[in-house]
Amino acid sequence: MLTKKCSKCGEVKGREEFHVDRSNYDGRYHHCKLCRKGMPRAPKSEPAMEGVKRCNKCGEVKAVTEFHADRQRKGGRYGSCKPCRAAYTREYRTTWQRPRQYEPATDGEKKCAKCGEAKCVTEFPPNPRVKDGRHSYCRQCKRDHYKDNRREPVTEGEKTCAKCGETKHVNEFWADCSVADGRMGTCRGCMADRLRELRKTPHGRMASRSSHRRRRFAAGIDSPKPEVRGPARLATAVQRWSIAVSMNPTLTSTQRGTVTSRRRL
């Protein structure tokens, strides 16, 4: 006969003396039936009242207009009245308000928490959450910290791609200093497929055009040209039409439209 010990009375009883609870590891409740029977029950909810409601914070019965609307609740109103909600919101903002944004100091000296040297405050990166507006580490110590924690990518061995599941050489994975082995979890082929699918979306096409323009500008091929949208785009079309007409006043309306659509500034 299987037995179990009640966590309330401490007696060892058979499993039949415990209610079924599938969320527990043994499939039975941790209190026996007798202990559960003697436990106090929650008070029954009072019947619904027409036009009024009891606040679950102060306990007062008020008109339903004293409660904020909430479509997700059964009665369409919040459980607490407006004054109680205002007091709770005020207390929450006072307790959990965001830290003050401090301006970085420009004069004086500060001691670095890592190297211990006293340096000018301009040698510390700005940090708006600190009282003096500067980091506790100087710039050189922060650079050394990032350099020491940087993980060099491995050059020998094999790795399994998280996307296709194939085991490939580590050189088939892009470098990533934030990973333990210094390599990305997805191989280069899967990453290329992912970028190819991304370029088919509107956001991906826009990002691809922007990166293409930046590469051409960096190579000295052309100058950066901002993308024209909205009313500015209409003004550019009107300007092209005016230039076409001024260059050849004898054009017909059909010819003017053809020249306008083909000419680019």
HEC assignment per residue over the chain: CCEEECCCCCCEEEHHHEEECCCCCCCEEEEEHHHHHHCCCCCCCCCCCCCEEECCCCCCEEEHHHCCECCCCCCCECCCCHHHHHHHHHHHHHHCCCCCCCCCCCCCEEECCCCCCEEEHHHCCECCCCCCCECCCCHHHHHHHHHHHCCCCCCCCEEECCCCCCEEEHHHEEECCCCCCCEEEEEHHHHHHHHHHHCCCHHHHHHHHHHHHHHHHHCCCCCCCCCCCHHHHHHHHHHHHHHHHHHCCCCCHHHHHHHHHHCCC
pLDDT of residue 138: 92
pLDDT of residue 50: 74
Tokens, residue 91: 């207390």
Return the number of other C-beta atoms located less than 10 Å from residue 160's C-beta: 11
pLDDT of residue 107: 81
pLDDT of residue 49: 63
pLDDT of residue 257: 52
Tokens, residue 59: 């306990």
pLDDT of residue 128: 79
User: How far is it, in rounded angstroms, from Cα 228 to Cα 225?
Assistant: 9
pLDDT of residue 259: 44
pTM of the model: 0.33
Tell me the pLDDT of the chain (265 aa) as tens digits: 678 888 888 899 988 899 888 888 788 888 899 888 877 664 554 555 678 888 988 989 999 899 998 888 878 888 899 999 999 888 887 777 665 666 677 788 889 988 989 999 889 988 877 778 888 899 999 888 877 777 778 888 899 998 898 999 999 998 887 777 888 889 999 989 988 888 888 877 777 777 777 777 666 666 555 554 444 454 555 555 565 556 555 555 555 554 444 444 3
